[in-house]
Amino acid sequence: MQLYQLLKRGAYHPEFCEDFSLAEPLGSRLVLAVMDGCTMGRESHFASALVAKVLRKVIKEYPYRRHHNSLPPTPTLADELRELLAAVFADLDQLKNQLLLETNELLTTLVIALLDPTTGAVEILVLGDATVALNGQLTRFEQNNRPDYLAYHLARPFADWYGQQTQRLSASDCRDLSLATDGIDSFEPATPTAPDDLPNIPALLLLDTQLAERPEMLNIKVRRLETSFSLLPTDDVAIIRVIR
């Protein structure tokens, strides 16, 4: 299995990258996530980084939580993903109160996948706008530029909120998976002399397997987009890709 990650600051964000990414083992499974802070939020780079840090904390604590909650020794991916999100939900609500944070300080999308590298089974949940590529099929999740951020719902019972989430994907044999923030669609020519025949960037970064033997595949391709086509992202972009 090969894991690739890309985090690129967009031209319209000169000070901070508002996206974040995470890849962490959870026992024999793997948690993958990308976050995209809301530009209209307050200090949105903080929101995406905070959610990533909370998720990492939850993953490290998860063996103890599983024992305390009497979960089965090998829960299903769906059950385990739900438990992870429940803990993130609770920790974010607690931090909001402890740090006296406003809702607009916590606005970030969250795209999370729980993958079993041995079997290829995967469960994916998308909270907000994003693009997911699964076994060669691109799926775009768009909420008309009005993402329903997790932070809007921290005062609700988790079970009620989670049961209403419909932006899900799953597979029993995941061979190629990419999670990308919506910055994947923000590449534009940086100069007026850019070639007319421009590549399909989502396909190039999320589906194409050229250079798959190189751990820096995504970074190499992004550099080539700039040098060969003068293409740069205007929005921040975070990508995690796994090829089994």
Q: For 224-236, what is the mean pLDDT? A: 94
Q: For 182-200, what is the mean pLDDT? A: 86
CB atoms within 10 A of CB 28: 10
Tokens 């998860």: give the residue: 62
CA-wise closest residue to 91 among 113, 67, 66, 61: 61
Q: For 167-175, what is the mean pLDDT? A: 97
Q: What is the dihedral of CA 200, 128, 181, 19, to 10 degrees?
A: 160
Average pLDDT of the chain is: 93
Number of domains in the chain: 1
Q: For 153-169, what is the mean pLDDT? A: 96
Output the pLDDT for position 72. Answer: 65
Tokens 């995941």: give the residue: 174
Instruction: State yes or no: pLDDT of 232 exceeds 80.
Output: yes
CA-wise closest residue to 92 among 41, 127, 130, 54: 54
Q: For 104-116, what is the mean pLDDT? A: 96
214 in Cβ contact with 6 (< 8 Å): no
Output the pLDDT for position 71. Answer: 62
Distance CA 149, CA 89 (A): 12
> DSSP string spanning 18-80?
-EEEEEEEETTEEEEEEEEE-TTSSSHHHHHHHHHHHHHHHHHHHHHHHHHTT--SS--HHHH
Output the pLDDT for position 36. Answer: 95
Handedness of CA 56, 67, 158, 111 (dihedral sign): positive
194 vs 11: which has the higher pLDDT: 11
Q: How confident is the model at residue 56 (pLDDT cuts 50, 70, 90)?
A: very high
Domain span at 167: 2-243
Across-strand partners of 20?
A: 35
**Which of 130-134, 140-144, 147-151 is predicted most confidently?**
130-134
Q: What is the DSSP letter of 213?
A: T
Q: How confident is the model at residue 90 (pLDDT cuts 50, 70, 90)?
A: very high
Tokens 């190499």: give the residue: 220
Instruction: State yes or no: pLDDT of 144 exceeds 80.
Output: no
Instruction: State yes or no: pLDDT of 19 exceeds 70.
Output: yes
Q: How confident is the model at residue 69 (pLDDT cuts 50, 70, 90)?
A: low
Output the pLDDT for position 166. Answer: 95
> DSSP string spanning 160-208?
HHHHT---EEEESS-SEEEEE-GGGG-EEESSTT--SS---HHHHHHT-
Query: CATH code at 10?
Result: 3.60.40.10
Cα angle 175, 181, 184; round to 5: 90
